[in-house]
Chain A
Amino acid sequence: MSPIAEQAVAPPGRSDLLGWLTSTDHKRIGTLYVITSLGFFLVAGALAVVMRTQLARPNSTLVSPHAFNQLFTLHGTAMIFLVVAPFAVGLANFLIPLQIGAPDMAFPRLNATSYWMFLFGGLTVFLGALTSEGAADSGWTAYAPLSEIKISTGLGQDMWIVGVFLVSVATILTAINFITTTFIYRAPGMTMWRIPIFAWEMVATSLLIFMAFPSLAAALLLLFVDRHLGGHAFDPSYGGNAVLWQHLFWFFGHPEVYVLILPYFGVVSEIIPVFSRKPIFGYTGLVIAAFAIAGLSMGVWAHHMFTTGAVDDPFFSFLSFMIAVPTGVKFFNWIGTMWRGSISLATPMLFCVGFLMNFLLGGVTGVMIASPPIDFHAEDSYFIVAHMHYVLGGGSLFAIFAALFFWWPKMFGVKLDERLGKLCFWLLFVGFNVTFFPMHLLGIEGMPRRVFTYPDVGSFPLLNSLATAGSYVMLAGVVAFAWNVVVSTRKRDPVGPDPWEANSLEWWTSSPPPEHNFDDLPPIRSARPVFDAHHPEIAKGGAG
């Protein structure tokens, strides 16, 4: 162990509740992040099922307009800020030190601070629902002047601002930690070009967080000043500018999309090689593509503003198109990894294949709406809802489940049940596509997003009923997962260090790993040191 690593080893932790509350161990903080984000996922998913139930039939009165507006605001805010991003943060917290052979994160106390800020931020957003005018109801995008105090008078909007602000600061702190840890804390032999792809993707993600989240924090602060201190930054009746909100918000909001997907590119890049029994294809290309995507994504924010008539559409359109190229490279690399492999369709791999199938459609519709003439019709319609869910639901969420099934044994020392896992996959895969595919057609036909009801015209009723039916199938898939957790935990069937015959260093140590992570490390001579140790006849020697 290097001298740096020795200093960072924390004193033995307590295993009771107080031990968890006060822990600065990256594995515990990672696990807390993962469990908390799954908790928010259940709530945000339940809100979605209520919305789909309201929209099952035209002119339904199950949910009032005011309640519906709170539902989609909380659903979007939670899924984006409290589920998809923090799950990745949790996974990275757990994995990065293990993958690079380090005993902990670079700043363990900062790490704990981030988690608690995130948790209280999330709870603050939801507790807004208990105020007299209810939770925030201006959408997760909180467009000003709609979110200004003249229109959104409630305390719920303020709690949303404060909550999301806390989460964004927590995320920035975490990004500092990830970058520092990955650059400084690598074990001897773990050169930059041997870092597992997941850790690379988290470095790219952290850089994006670094550049994008301060813009969100600034916008939220300005909005708060507008609401309570007469700032009028976004209020045109006092010389403020409504378009400014969109710039500040999307300067964060588009890189955020990649903050929500790059970690999951990393997840599938870790899992596909293991279940194909091959090294990742085009490691260097994958890493370069991650940074190309991150770089380009900083210059495309105004493709969310094509219909404002306030931006130079062709510039932002061009850069948006360009993102398709590195994303395509990744797809071909994943296919190249499976090509002539020996593929096992265990549950983690099934979810990866589901990810590829779904995300591909989200990518294709993404290129479509990068064309302003198409966006003029698609923008703010259900086509966008479909596109965005194919990326974040069919993409990120499927990778979340892949990660859960793959790393569960490492985190908790037991495997999840395979048969229930496959049931969960098929329910989610079929349910997802039945829910979201019809939304493309709804959008083209003319259904705007964020509506609490719709008229009985055209194929609106049919397609909406279909989408609602699909959401119930997805709900069943989530129940199957919860049941799987109960069954597998009760069985207490402990696994060894490396149940999947995997590649990276986290599979060298016990499951779950000891507090100090590693008793010893294998020689690190390639990007898959554990595979090398188990297959000395194939292992690359020397420079690797």
Chain B
Amino acid sequence: MHGQMWPSPATAQASVLANDWLLFGTAGLAVAVIVWGLILFSVFRWRRKGQTEGPLPPQFDSNNPLEIAWTAIPLLIVLALFVYTYRAEADVERLAPKPDVIVDVNAYQWNWTFAYQGGPTVQGSFADPPQLVLPLGETVRIVLTSSDVDHAFWVPDFLFKRDAIPGHPTSFDLNPSKLGTYLGRCAEFCGFDHALMDFSVRVVSSSDFNRWRSAHHT
């Protein structure tokens, strides 16, 4: 259920998010390598050998075209990144008009309740973290809240988290795209046993989901 280092996107939304990571990771690394290179080049190229001071180097202290360029170019880069990121976020946060499954998720110190609208309700215990069962390829609406302090619902393989804040329920959609079982955990520090506030997510086929749902119907 866990074991590889890079999370593998397990929802449609996660694929969009992974692309954002890829773009920013690559662009960030490229910028870092160039600027690191410039820093190290300057230091080693013009390092004073030995103790002798020698004559002063040229005392220039400005270059207007250069300064305009290194303001304008980064500005264009971040504007482009912003436009990309704006679209990606809109994709990820879009709520379907009619979700197939709605789950009311309640976080509390230090466990979770997954209440499927129309049943069943999954209740975790300390020894046995609860499991959120989701159908592959369908749209799942999570309605998230907390009954005590701030928590956060995080599934690393979904590359996504949302805070569970008391008095402020929020909603997001998940479209599971890969069968499997994924680890979930509380990400917002919530007191004594925050570190152990785990759950799991199992993505199953639609038919398996319906079978599971009717078997657990109360």
Q: Which residues of A contact B (CB under 8 A)?
A: 65-66, 69, 137-139, 143, 145-146, 151, 236-237, 240-243, 276-285, 307-310, 313-314, 317-318, 321-322, 324-325, 328-329, 331-332, 335-336, 338-345, 353, 356-357, 360-361, 364-365, 367-368, 371-374, 376-377, 379-381, 441, 444-446, 448-454, 457-459, 535, 538
**Stretch of B63-71, B97-105, B113-121, B206-214 with 4 or more beta carbons under 8 angstroms from chain A:** B63-71
> How many A-B pairs with Cβ below 8 Å?
259
Across the interface, do B61 and A280 meet the contact criterion of CB distance under 8 Å? yes
Cβ contacts under 8 Å, A457 to chain B: 2-3, 183
Write 30 A-B pairs (CB below 8 A) sorted by A numbering. A65-B193, A69-B192, A139-B189, A151-B109, A151-B148, A151-B149, A237-B167, A276-B57, A280-B61, A308-B163, A317-B86, A321-B78, A321-B82, A325-B75, A335-B38, A343-B43, A360-B35, A361-B32, A368-B25, A373-B17, A374-B21, A376-B160, A377-B21, A377-B159, A445-B156, A446-B157, A450-B189, A458-B3, A458-B4, A459-B5
Rounded to whole Å, the gap between the CB of A360 and the closest CB of chain B is: 6
Across the interface, do B74 and A325 meet the contact criterion of CB distance under 8 Å? yes
Give the CA-CA distance A353 to B42 in the complex, in Å: 10
Evaluate whether A146 and B191 lie within 8 angstroms (CB atoms) in the complex, with A236-B166, A342-B46, A444-B7 already known. yes
Q: For the complex, is B96 an interface residue (Cβ under 8 Å from A)? A: no
Evaluate whether A373 and B85 lie within 8 angstroms (CB atoms) in the complex, with A329-B67, A360-B36, A364-B28 already known. yes
- Mark each residue of chain B from 44 to 56: 1 if its CB lies under 8 Å from any CB of chain A, else 0: 0011100001101
Which has the most chain B C-beta neighbours within 10 Å: A309, A360, A449?
A309
CB < 8 Å: which of B6, B48, B163 contacts A344? B48
Give the CA-CA distance A356 to B37 in the complex, in Å: 11
Give the CA-CA distance A276 to B192 in the complex, in Å: 52
Cβ contacts under 8 Å, B29 to chain A: 364
Cβ contacts under 8 Å, A328 to chain B: 70-71, 74
Give the CA-CA distance A377 to B150 in the complex, in Å: 17
New A-B pairs, 12, CB < 8 Å, besides A325-B71, A381-B187: A145-B148, A145-B149, A307-B161, A313-B89, A339-B46, A360-B32, A372-B89, A376-B159, A376-B162, A377-B156, A380-B152, A448-B185
Count of chain B residues with Cβ under 8 Å from any Cβ of A? 82
Q: For the complex, is B188 an interface residue (Cβ under 8 Å from A)? A: yes
Across the interface, do A452 and B187 meet the contact criterion of CB distance under 8 Å? no
Give the CA-CA distance A176 to B161 in the complex, in Å: 41
Across the interface, do B24 and A279 meet the contact criterion of CB distance under 8 Å? no
Rounded to whole Å, the gap between the CB of B180 and the closest CB of chain A is: 15
Cβ contacts under 8 Å, A345 to chain B: 43, 47
Evaluate whether A538 and B150 lie within 8 angstroms (CB atoms) in the complex, with A279-B61, A307-B161, A373-B17 already known. no
Q: Which 7 A-B pairs have the closest CB atoms?
A: A236-B167, A446-B156, A309-B170, A451-B195, A338-B42, A380-B187, A450-B189
Give the CA-CA distance A356 to B166 in the complex, in Å: 42
Across the interface, do A278 and B61 meet the contact criterion of CB distance under 8 Å? yes
Task: List residues of B (158-199) whose CB comes within 8 Å of A's CBs.
Answer: 159-163, 165-168, 170-172, 183, 185-195
Residue of A nearest to B167 (CB): A236
Q: For the complex, is B12 an interface residue (Cβ under 8 Å from A)? A: no
Cβ contacts under 8 Å, B167 to chain A: 236-237, 240-242
Residue of A nearest to B81 (CB): A321
Cβ contacts under 8 Å, A325 to chain B: 71, 74-75, 78
Give the CA-CA distance A307 to B148 in the complex, in Å: 18
Rounded to whole Å, the gap between the CB of A339 and the closest CB of chain B is: 6
Across the interface, do A314 and B86 meet the contact criterion of CB distance under 8 Å? yes
Give the CA-CA distance A336 to B70 in the complex, in Å: 11
Rounded to whole Å, the gap between the CB of A299 and the closest CB of chain B is: 14
Evaluate whether A452 and B74 lie within 8 angstroms (CB atoms) in the complex, with A335-B38, A342-B48 already known. no
Across the interface, do A444 and B6 meet the contact criterion of CB distance under 8 Å? yes
Residue of B nearest to A308 (CB): B163
Cβ contacts under 8 Å, B193 to chain A: 65
Across the interface, do B48 and A279 meet the contact criterion of CB distance under 8 Å? no
Residue of B nearest to A463 (CB): B5
Q: For the complex, is B125 an interface residue (Cβ under 8 Å from A)? A: no
Give the CA-CA distance A236 to B150 in the complex, in Å: 11
Across the interface, do B195 and A65 meet the contact criterion of CB distance under 8 Å? yes
Give the CA-CA distance A377 to B81 in the complex, in Å: 18
Cβ contacts under 8 Å, B6 to chain A: 444-445
Give the CA-CA distance A145 to B5 in the complex, in Å: 34
Give the CA-CA distance A314 to B81 in the complex, in Å: 12
Residue of B nearest to A460 (CB): B2
Give the CA-CA distance A506 to B167 in the complex, in Å: 56
Across the interface, do B160 and A377 meet the contact criterion of CB distance under 8 Å? yes
Across the interface, do A343 and B74 meet the contact criterion of CB distance under 8 Å? no
Rounded to whole Å, the gap between the CB of A376 and the closest CB of chain B is: 5
Across the interface, do A458 and B2 meet the contact criterion of CB distance under 8 Å? yes
CB < 8 Å: which of B25, B61, B75 contacts A281? B61
Across the interface, do A143 and B5 meet the contact criterion of CB distance under 8 Å? no
Give the CA-CA distance A348 to B79 in the complex, in Å: 36
